[in-house]
Amino acid sequence: MFRFFETAVDPYTPHAASDRPPSGLWPWLIEHSRPYKRLLWIAGILSVLVAGVEIALIWAMGWVVDILAAGPEAVWRDHGTTLLLLGAALLVVRPLLQALDVLVLNNAILPGFVSHVRWRSHRHVLRQSVGWFEDDFAGRIANRVMQTPSAAGEAVFQIFDALAFALAYVAGAAVLLGQSEPFLALPLLAWFGLYLGLMSWTIRRIGPASKRASDARSALTGRIVDSYTNIHAVKMFAHHDREEAYGTEAIERTRESFAAEMRLYTLMDVMLTGLNGLLIVSVTGMALWFWGLGTATVGAVAAAVALCLRLNAMTGWIMWALTTFFQQLGIISEGLESIADPIALTDAPGAAPLTLTEGRIRIEALSHHYGRGAGGLDRISLEIAPGEKVGLVGRSGAGKSTLVKLMLRFYDAEAGRIVIDGQDIAGVTQASLRRQIGVVQQDSSLLHRSIRENILYGRPGASEAEMIAAAKQAQAHDFISGLVDAGGRRGYDAQVGERGVKLSGGQRQRIALARVILKDAPILVLDEATSALDSEVEAAIQDTLYRMMEGKTVIAIAHRLSTIARMDRIVVIEDGHVAEDGPHEKLLAEKGLYAGFWSRQSGGFLDADRDDATGRSDISQETA
C-alpha cells in the first residue's frame, strides 16, 4: 500500500533545464510543484472533507444531547438505527478518510516533492561556472541545496495539513452555529476577523525574521565547513583559538537572529490566548442567553461550547502552522539566492559539439582582467600547431593559469577569442570542449570516493585492465596495492578521504595523472603536474609524461624548468603579454627573461618572484 502512494509521481520527472529559473518565491514554488499538481488538488479536497467530518461530529453530539430528553426507550426506538450508523461511520468511514488524507500528504507528496526540488536544485547548481563557486562558501551553497527543498516540503505540508483544514473548519463552524441560532455565528465571525488581524501582524514580521535567521545559519555552516575542510592549515598554524572565535562570531549572530524570531512567537502566543478566551466567553455566553430565551436547544449550547473548546485547541496549532509556513517561506527566499541564481556562463544558442580534427590552437588578442581592469591577460596572441608541445613560463600573476582557465572556458574572455581547429570555443558546447582536453593541476584534489572511482573519472567506461595500466604508467600501482583504509577496504577499493586527504601530495598527483592518462584526450594541459612529486618519482615519471604527450597538442606550465626544457617551444608570459617565444636553447642564447629564470634555478625550480634588476619581490597574485 505504501509503495503505491510513494510511487504515484516520479520525483525525477524529466524537465527542460532553464538558465534563468523563476527567482520569485511563488513562481518558483508553482514551477517545482507542477508534477504534483493532481495530488495537491486531491490533498486539498481531502483536507476539506476531513474538516467537514469533524464539524459533523460536533453537530451529531448536539443532536444526541437533544434526543436524550425523550428517555432511553424512546431514543433507541426512534433513533437506534441512526446511532448505529453514526457509530459505524466513526469506526470505519472517519479512519479511512483520515488514512487516505495522510497517505496522500505524507507518502505520495512529501518525500517525492522534497527529493524532486532537491534534485532540480542540485542539477541547477552543478551547471554554474567555476567562478560562481569561487565567489561563495561551498558549505553555504550545500546548506541551501539541502534546507530549501525541506522548507518547500514543509510549506506544502502546512498548506494542506493545517491551512486548508482550518479554513474549512471555521466555515463549517459558522454554518453549524448559524443553523441553530443565526446570531451565534456573529461572535465567531468577529473573533475570526481579529484572528486574521493577529495572523497578518505575525506574518509580516515572521517572514523577514526567518530569512535573517536562515541567512545567519547558512553563513555559520559556511564558516564551519571552511574550518573543517582546511583543518590541516588550522592545526599546522596552531590557530584553534582563532577558528573558534571565527565560528563563535557566526554562532552568536545566528543566536541573535533566532532570538529575535522567537520574540515574535512569544507575543503571538500571548495575544492568541487572550483572543481564544474572548471566543469561549462570547459564544458560550450568547448560547446560554438564547437557551434562556428558548430559541436555542440544550444540544445547540453543547455544540457551541464544544466548537469553542475545539477552536481554542486548534487555533494555537493553526497559528503555529501558519507561522511555520511563513518561516519556511523565509528559508526558501534565502535559498533562492543560490539555487535560483541564473546561469551566467552558458552555451551559445545552437552551440554544436567541438569537432577536433588536428588539435590546432589559436589565441587571438585575448584579454581577461577578472573585471578589475588590470592583472590577468592583456591582448595576448599565440598559435600552437597540431601536436606541438609548448611550455608556459612566467612570474606568479603573469597570467599563465588564467590562460588555461579561459581555454577550458571556466570564464568567458572579456576580449579576444580562443579558436581550436577553426572553431571559436565560445560557440561550442562546454562539455564537448572539456572532453577534448586532459588537465593535471598542481592542486590535484580527489573525490571522497575509492581510488578506482577517482581514476575511472577520466573515462568511466574503461575496463579494469585499462585502469590498472593507467595507474602503472603513472607510477601509482605499487603504492595503491598496499593501501588499506579505516573500513578495511584495500587497494583500488580504498577510500581516499575528502579531497584525497588520506594520501600524500605525491600520491594524489600520481592518481590524478593516471586519471588523465586514462582519459587520453587529444589536447593535454599540465599545470605544475609534477610539483608534488619528489625528484626520484619525478625522474621515473618523466618518460611517462612524454609518452602521454605523443600525438597530442600540449601546454605545460612549470616553475621547475627542467620539466619543460625538452618542449618544442617555451613561451614566457610577463604582465599578461607574450614576452619571449622559442625553443629552450634559443631563449638561453637571447639572455632575456627565460635565461635569467634558468640561471636562478635552485634545485630545478624557477625563482619567479624575484625581480631581474633589483631583486625586489613581485607580490602580485593571480586571481584565479
pLDDT of residue 536: 63
Strand order in the sheet with 361-368: 377-384, 361-368, 415-420, 423-424
Q: Which of 569, 516, 582, 571 is nearest to 545 (CA)?
A: 516
pLDDT of residue 541: 66
Cell numbers for 310: 475545539
Angle between helices 535-549 and 464-473 (to 10 degrees): 120
CB–CB of 561/606 below 8 Å?
yes
High-pLDDT (> 70) share of the chain, %: 91
Is the pLDDT score of 273 beyond 70?
Answer: yes
CB–CB of 414/350 below 8 Å?
no
The residues, any chain, with a CB within 8 Å of residue 310's CB and separated by 6 or more, are 54, 58
Which amino acid type is present at position 542?
Q
Q: How confident is the model at residue 539 (pLDDT cuts 50, 70, 90)?
A: low
> Over the stretch 14-29, which tens digit does the pLDDT of each residue have?
877 788 888 888 888 8
Give DSSP secondary structure letters for 499-561: GGTTS-HHHHHHHHHHHHHHH--SEEEEESTTTTS-HHHHHHHHHHHHHHHTTSEEEEE-SSG
pLDDT of residue 620: 30
Region of poorest pLDDT, from 156-165, 257-266, 385-394: 156-165
Please tell me the distance from the alpha carbon of residue 68 to that of residue 60, in angstroms, as a whole number: 12
The residues, any chain, with a CB within 8 Å of residue 361's CB and separated by 6 or more, are 382, 383, 384, 407, 418, 419, 420, 523, 553, 555
Which amino acid type is present at position 350?
G
More confident residue, 506 or 117: 117
Strands 437-440 and 523-527: parallel
Q: How far is CA 349 from CA 2, 429, 517, in A?
A: 45, 10, 33
pLDDT of residue 619: 27
Q: Which of 581, 578, 583, 584 is nearest to 598 (CA)?
A: 584
SS3 487: coil
CB–CB of 286/185 below 8 Å?
no
pLDDT of residue 210: 78
Q: Which domains does the chain have, with CATH numbers?
A: 26-339 (1.20.1560.10), 353-436+521-624 (3.40.50.300)
> Over the stretch 50-67, which tens digit does the pLDDT of each residue have?
888 877 777 777 777 777
| Buried-exposed string 347-364: b where 16+ CB fall within 10 A, e elsewhere | beeebeebebeebbbbbb
SS3 579: strand
Q: Within a 10 A sphere around the Cβ of 195, how many other Cβ atoms? A: 21
Please tell me the distance from the alpha carbon of residue 408 to that of residue 417, in angstroms, as a whole number: 12
Please tell me the distance from the alpha carbon of residue 251 to that of residue 522, in angstroms, as a whole number: 50
Please tell me the distance from the alpha carbon of residue 594 to that of residue 614, in angstroms, as a whole number: 17
Q: How confident is the model at residue 422 (pLDDT cuts 50, 70, 90)?
A: very high
More confident residue, 536 or 217: 217
Q: Which of 218, 221, 320 is nearest to 262 (CA)?
A: 320
> Over the stretch 182-199, which tens digit does the pLDDT of each residue have?
776 777 778 778 877 877
Average pLDDT, integer, range 270-287? 78
Is the pLDDT score of 476 beyond 70?
Answer: yes
Average pLDDT, integer, range 362-366? 92
* Helix residue spans in 159-239 (DSSP H): 164-180, 185-229, 231-236
Please tell me the distance from the alpha carbon of residue 449 to that of residue 456, in angstroms, as a whole number: 11
Region of poorest pLDDT, from 54-58, 470-474, 495-499: 54-58
Provide the mean pLDDT of the chain: 82
CB–CB of 557/400 below 8 Å?
yes
Q: Within a 10 A sphere around the Cβ of 286, how many other Cβ atoms? A: 21
Please tell me the distance from the alpha carbon of residue 423 to that of residue 135, in angstroms, as a whole number: 30
> Over the stretch 595-618, which tens digit does the pLDDT of each residue have?
888 887 644 444 444 443 333 333
Region of poorest pLDDT, from 94-108, 241-255, 415-429, 532-546: 532-546
Question: Rg of the chain's alpha carbons, rounded to an integer?
Answer: 35
454: region left, alpha or beta (phi > 0 left; psi from -120 to 50 alpha): alpha
pLDDT of residue 420: 94
